[in-house]
Amino acid sequence: MKFSLTWLKDHLETDASAEVIAEKLSAIGLELEGLEDPAARLAGFKVAKVLTAERHPNADKLQVLTVDTGDGEPLQVVCGAPNARAGLVGVLGLPGAVVPASGFELKKSAIRGVESNGMMCSTRELELGDDHDGIIELPADAPVGTSFAAYHGSDPVFDVAITPNRPDCMGVYGIARDLSAAGLGTLKPIAAQAVPGSFPCPIEIRTDDPEGCPAFHGRVIKGVKNGPSPDWIQTRLNSAGQRPISALVDLTNYLMLTYGRPAHAYDLAKLNGAVVARRAKDGETCLALNAKEYALDSTMTVIADNSGVHDIAGIMGGEHSGCSETTTDVLLEIAYFDPDRIGATGRKLGLTSDARQRFERGVDPAFLDAGLEILTNLIVGICGGAPSEVVRAGEVSKSTKIVSYNPALAESLGGVAIPDDEQRATLRALGFAADAKWNVIVPTWRPDVDGAPDIVEEVVRIHGLDRVTSTPLPRTGGVARPTATAAQKVERKVRRAAAARGLNEVVTWSFLPEAEAQHFAEGNSGLWVLANPISEDMKAMRPSLLPGLLSAAQRNLDRGAAALRLFELGRRYLRGDGGHSDERLTLGAVLAGEKVTRGWASGKAQMFDAFDAKAEALALLAEAGAPIDSLQVMGEAGPQFHPGQSGTLRLGPKTVLARFGMIHPATLKVFDIDAPVAAVELFLDAIPARKGVSGFARSAYAPPALQAVTRDFAFLVDAAMPAGDLVRAVKGADKANIVAVRVFDDFRGTGVPEGQKSLAVEVTLQPGEKSFDEAELKAIAERITAAAAKLGAVLRG
């Protein structure tokens, strides 16, 4: 949320500087994201007067101006604005100044052969408005030569991150209240002077949906004149990042941003019959102010008349009943909507707005009348008109929330001792009331406070979060016992191994857009969708680590990365038995771009392929303690992978330890990736625990006393047979003597029958107490040949 220092001082009487206020905001738990000083952005711009304006000799639409900057010798400036003329007082950007809107640094230059010493600026170029039709025209008495920042006023702008549990600070007044409680000034009372109605309200207002809209207040103001809002309103809205539209619209936005109270103004002439808060009918639609049409259903609350829906209640008004420059009579609406209903409707429609943010967090239900009176005073004072009597439909619950509190909790739970009288003063300044027995009455604008721990948070943060000392936990003497679990040890080992292999670790969100999550889900039953997500882009919990990695790859490839080797170690989330969340430790990796760049020795660039993904999977599984020699390579890596260039690594037909291969083109299209991508996903939770391992000591290293012997064998096998099958068969022919088997050749061509291939393997034999003799080597070779023959392999001559 953004607001200016002047806006804050409208409600907080203080002499504190912007820097002091910024520091205090963070100290009391209102995280400051930025403090912007417009004076720095306007450095190099001066109030200047045009002395002469002559037609450019080489361009019909340009003029050559002589400009007085107050520094003695006038400057020559080339200008194309249609309103540039002698006598105009405007804003000149001098060489070296940076234009805020474009970031362009002004320089002395020649434009169509005529020297120009800067630029006369428009409001859009200085980000002071949207007008770009001409240069700024200041009053004739504006002091020429003065810094424009000093003339315009330097009003620092705060940008504060408001957490979802603080709806009271979704308005400037709430932030002023917190700062006042922290001792940074005096909070000014809200001026909500009642405006008596001069005639009965001419339109019926009611609520037919007391659950979704418990209370609906409104009144008509006749004879208003809509036009641009005053400069002071526009200045405040601009500081908040809001674009001024018209006085009626701007004033409702001003009320919302100042007091956190959304409101709406309807053009009375565009309404037909009673205005009712009701449930929408299935199939009804609403053309919202963002020019988009939304399909509604009976779970949603709307504001409607006899003609149909005019407003998606609490979220966005309708386009056809909004106020315009021709509006003369308006209906003001201030209502209280159920936060859960607003949140559910916004998520279902994929529609967010400033009003929704406030209603779904919880606005002050007791501020209906005060908000309506403030808005009425503003409109009557600025736009004129005569207000009607107020109509109040429905009623908000006036039950008071009382929390039993013990001031000793500030130290036992909050970690800081705060005197009782200071705690009472803090609560009183924040709008709470505590009796002698510390029964605390919670103000209506604090729906987030439910129990004593919430009261602790209030008194501690106002006391100062920076004053809570860090106290280390006590540590017993002696050597610390290891606390890492077996799974944590595997996690650390695999992470280090991946990094050592040249993979770069990334950390992505555990939440995904629902469409991306669904693309990797194993049916609808396996997907967790949040009921109250942070945003629509974080609605589903990830069923795989690959979507986040693919998104990271896409961002890097779009920025020109030639090669990517990324991995992430984290949890994927599936629906377990009984509907509970099932978290599973997983490692994902993607390889994209060039494995080997082009060069005089390598020739063309070589891209990553499925075999690279398989190599990473095997290497990392080995580090995790998986029985690599017992793994089988099988298919069915999933629809996200290319069916002819992917596979799985399994222990038996059911236990899948990893899947690897090239990502399917359809999946790449979903993530807007043009380059081929190889991917790996290791299911570390599926690796069986090692049996018979106890203690922490490793076996002593005992290298064999005798040198190993290698023998080569070449077999003719069916062309479709995986090489791994032959390796396992050969290795199992003599487990006592064969210690390693490696494929070193795969030949298909002259001398090899059609439909077959020649696989050559190197077999390593390790003698024990004595060296092998010829008879023993021959017997081992016969066992190898016999084992291979069971697969249909024939030893080549």
Q: What is the pLDDT of residue 564?
A: 93
Mean pLDDT confidence for 700-728: 89
Q: What is the pLDDT of residue 480?
A: 74
Mean pLDDT confidence for 434-459: 94
Nearest to 221 by CA among 440, 378, 25: 378
Q: Are 288 and 311 in contact (CB under 8 A)?
A: no
Q: What is the pLDDT of residue 526?
A: 67
How far apart, in whole angstroms, are the C-alpha atoms of residue 9 and residue 173?
Answer: 10
The whole-angstrom distance between residue 481's C-alpha and the CA centroid of its chain comes to: 40
Mean pLDDT confidence for 654-678: 93
Q: Are 586 and 683 in contact (CB under 8 A)?
A: yes
DSSP, residue by residue, 453-518: HHHHHHHHHHHHGGGS---PPP--SSPPPP---HHHHHHHHHHHHHHHTTPEE----SEE-HHHHH
In sequence order, the β-bridge partners of residue 441 are 402, 433
C-alpha to C-alpha distances, 385 to 179, 326, 414, nearest whole angstrom: 37, 14, 53
Q: What is the pLDDT of residue 359?
A: 94
Q: What is the pLDDT of residue 576?
A: 65
The whole-angstrom distance between residue 180's C-alpha and the CA centroid of its chain comes to: 32
User: Which strands sit side by side in the sheet containing 63-68, from one edge to the other?
Assistant: 75-79, 63-68, 45-55, 89-93, 119-120
Mean pLDDT confidence for 125-134: 80
Mean pLDDT confidence for 298-309: 93
Regarding predicted confidence, which is higher, 768 or 503?
503
Regarding predicted confidence, which is higher, 576 or 714?
714
Count of Cβ atoms closer than 10 Å to residue 214 Cβ:
19
User: In the chain, what percentage of residues exceed pLDDT 90?
Assistant: 70
Residue 609 is labelled as binding a ligand: no
Helix (H, G, I), strand (E, B) or coil at 589: strand
How far apart, in whole angstroms, are the C-alpha atoms of residue 4 and residue 175?
Answer: 12
Comparing 39-43, 117-121, 729-733, the range with the smallest average pLDDT is: 39-43
Q: What is the pLDDT of residue 691?
A: 67
**586: exposed, middle or buried (Cβ count in 10 Å: 0-12, 13-18, 19+):** buried
Please report which residue ranges of 646-760 form alpha helices under DSSP H.
Answer: 665-670, 723-731
Comparing 180-184, 511-515, 646-650, the range with the smallest average pLDDT is: 511-515
Q: What pLDDT, in 10s, does the model give residues 372-386?
A: 999 999 999 999 999
Q: Taking CA 509 as the corner, what is the angle to CA 506 and CA 512, rounded to the nearest 5 degrees? A: 130
Q: What pLDDT, in 10s, does the model give residues 546-601?
A: 999 999 999 999 998 989 999 999 999 887 665 566 888 999 999 999 888 888 87
Reported as type and span, the H/E element at residue 550 is: helix 546-558
C-alpha to C-alpha distances, 336 to 349, 367, 396, 468, 666, nearest whole angstrom: 20, 9, 8, 38, 46
Residue 23 is labelled as binding a ligand: no
Residue 369 is labelled as binding a ligand: no
Nearest to 713 by CA among 698, 733, 690: 733
Mean pLDDT confidence for 75-92: 94
How far apart, in whole angstroms, are the C-alpha atoms of residue 789 and residue 310?
Answer: 80
Asked if the model's pLDDT at residue 690 lies above 80, the reply is: no
Helix (H, G, I), strand (E, B) or coil at 187: strand
Type of residue numbered 685: D
Q: What is the DSSP letter of 242?
A: P
Q: What is the pLDDT of residue 697?
A: 55
The whole-angstrom distance between residue 704's C-alpha and the CA centroid of its chain comes to: 58
Asked if the model's pLDDT at residue 696 lies above 80, the reply is: no
Q: What is the pLDDT of residue 605?
A: 84
Main-chain phi, psi angles of 126, to 5 degrees = -95, 5
CA torsion through residues 769, 773, 779, 782, sign: positive
Going from the N-terminus, what domains does the chain have, and what CATH number goes with each?
Answer: 2-32+160-187 (3.30.56.10), 40-152 (2.40.50.140), 205-394 (3.50.40.10), 402-467 (3.30.56.10), 486-686 (3.30.930.10), 709-795 (3.30.70.380)
**Torsion of the alpha carbons at 30, 31, 37 and 41, rounded to the nearest 10:** -150
Q: What is the pLDDT of residue 728?
A: 87
Task: Kindly state the tokens that stand for 694.
Answer: 């106890």
Pairing of strands 709-718, 756-765: antiparallel
Type of residue numbered 207: T
How far apart, in whole angstroms, are the C-alpha atoms of residue 410 and residue 529?
Answer: 37
Q: What pLDDT, in 10s, does the model give residues 162-179?
A: 998 899 999 999 999 999
How far apart, in whole angstroms, are the C-alpha atoms of residue 621 and residue 628?
Answer: 7
Q: What is the pLDDT of residue 578?
A: 58
Asked if the model's pLDDT at residue 692 lies above 60, the reply is: no
Radius of gyration in angstroms for the set of CA atoms belonging to the chain, rounded to a whole number: 37
Share the mean pLDDT of the chain.
Answer: 90
Q: What pLDDT, in 10s, does the model give residues 601-636?
A: 778 888 999 999 999 999 999 999 998 888 888 888
Residue 457 is labelled as binding a ligand: yes
Q: What is the pLDDT of residue 41?
A: 82
How far apart, in whole angstroms, are the C-alpha atoms of residue 466 and residue 452?
Answer: 21
